């Protein structure tokens, strides 16, 4: 969620949302199309030409191969972008322990800074 809130490049976010929308539309369409092709192939095997059945089976295999290829390439692209973002957008806070040498007003400031810590920051 931090990546989506980050005011970084909007192109990457639009690409992710576009791919998610395409995935939500293409998945049911590919499933229905593959089922119809296989159903037609079974009907052609029982009632008519084997050549048409083989063609429908080949069409189904091509359809699912293209669908899986697009899904894997898209997933790999977005994982690579996310890993690159994680590598370049790290927030680290250095906590200084309270000691007797620091005046009390500076200790209270240090205490306030540690309370303002966000969950996305790493404590070292």
Percent of the chain with pLDDT over 90: 37
Distance CA 37, CA 33 (A): 6
The whole-number pLDDT of residue 69 equals: 96
- Mean pLDDT over each residue of the chain, to the nearest integer: 79
The pTM (predicted TM-score) of the whole model is: 0.62
CB 97 within 8 A of CB 35: no
pLDDT in tens, 5-48: 665 667 777 888 889 999 999 999 999 999 999 999 998 888 88
First-to-final CA distance of the chain: 23
């Amino acid at each position: 969620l931090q990546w989506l809130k980050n005011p970084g490049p909007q192109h990457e976010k639009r690409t992710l949302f576009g791919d998610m929308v395409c995935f939500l539309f293409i998945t049911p369409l590919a499933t229905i199309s593959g089922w119809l092709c296989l159903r037609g192939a079974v009907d052609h095997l029982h009632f008519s030409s084997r050549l048409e059945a083989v063609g429908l089976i080949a069409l189904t295999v091509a359809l699912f191969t293209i669908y899986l290829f697009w899904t894997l390439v898209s997933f790999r692209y977005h994982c690579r972008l996310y890993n690159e973002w994680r590598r370049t957008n790290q927030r680290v806070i250095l906590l200084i322990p309270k000691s007797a040498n620091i005046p009390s007003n500076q200790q209270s400031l240090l205490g306030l800074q540690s309370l303002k810590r966000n969950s996305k920051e790493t404590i070292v």
